[in-house]
Amino acid sequence: MSTRRSASPPLLAIVRYTVRACVPAQRLLLLLPVAGALLFGLLARIPDDVAAVAFARVGGTAIHTLVLPITCLIVGDALLGAEIRSGVFAFTWLSPVSYATIVVGRWLGGCAIAAAILVPAAAASAIVAGAPSSALAAALAAMAGAGAYLALFIAIGAGFKRPVVWSLVLVIIIERLLGAALAGIAQLSPGWLAQSVLVGLTADGAGLARKGVPAGWPAVGRLVLVAIVGLTIAARRLRSLRPASSAD
């Protein structure tokens, strides 16, 4: 039988709800990013290079190109887009809570899920690669990158009917293809910036830094900025949202 408990502030209620409701039912799936990160950590042992540099070049690139965006895309869609499509979002929308609180609560919940998956995965990857000194930097890069990605995917979920498709367009076409050619796009890309965080905080990693893209802590600052912009757009989009219904 349930025990009585006192009421929670709306923001905390939304964060708790997000962590409970938006984690996939098949929890074992959450181990896939960890397995991927460990594999890329092992691959980083192959190059004949200083371990930390090899990890930043091979493991870091693979994690920030594949593991980070795909994990965030799955979690990010569950945070808002999937609920809007199914109609479940009505339970949250039909409340006096402000749109900003809803968006921030969902984002914080998503960050908690991402942190539980990606931070240990990135740190373990560095250790497996033989670069334990990069573990903290890898964890920070993964967390900061995840925060920015999740904010963007929440904004896409609030603004587009097929958020997964548009999120893939963002990651594959805008970030990977255009971002590889244009530093101006890479400067705002969570994937590129996360890699720059790792590179910037890696000893002897200066040679890996991309020209025109901030590295280390300035990259963390840029990722925070991207996250704030994403959350602001999402909150504004919720104002004009028409949550789906089978009647539509």
Partner 1 sequence: MTDVHSTDPAFVDDATVEVADASVWFGQKVALSELACSFGPGVTGLLGPNGAGKSTLMRAVTGLIGVNSGSVRVEGRDPRRDREVHRRIALVPEDEAVPAQLTAMELVRYVADLHGVRDPGAAERALELVDMMPAADRRLRGFSKGMRQRAKVAAALVTDPPVLVLDEPLNGADPVQRVRLTELFRRLGAEGRTVIVSSHVLSEVERLADRVLVLIHGRLAAAGNHRAIRDAMDDRPRHVLIRADEPRRLGAALLRIDTVAGVSLTDAGLVVTTDRAGDLAVAVAPVARDLGVRLREVRPLDDSLESLFRELVR
**Closer to partner 1 at the Cβ: 93 or 160?**
93
Round to whole Å and give the CA distance between 70 and 72.
5
* Cβ at position 242, least distance to partner 1 in Å: 5
- Chain centre distance of CA 69: 6
**Closer to partner 1 at the Cβ: 32 or 90?**
90
Q: Is residue 226 within 8 Å of residue 148, measured between CB atoms? A: yes
* Cβ at position 91, least distance to partner 1 in Å: 6
* Cβ at position 217, least distance to partner 1 in Å: 37
**Closer to partner 1 at the Cβ: 94 or 181?**
94
**Closer to partner 1 at the Cβ: 7 or 181?**
7
* Cβ at position 22, least distance to partner 1 in Å: 8
Q: Is residue 26 within 8 Å of residue 104, measured between CB atoms? A: no
What own/partner pairs with CB < 8 Å and gap ≥ 24 does 68-71 have? Answer: 68/118, 68/142, 68/145, 68/146, 68/149, 68/190, 68/191, 68/194, 69/149, 69/171, 69/175, 69/190, 69/191, 70/33, 71/33, 71/114, 71/117, 71/118, 71/146
* Cβ at position 144, least distance to partner 1 in Å: 28
Q: Which residues here bind partner 1, judged by CB under 8 A?
A: 1-2, 4-10, 12-14, 16-17, 20-21, 23, 25, 83, 86-88, 90-98, 242-243, 245-248
**Closer to partner 1 at the Cβ: 27 or 211?**
27
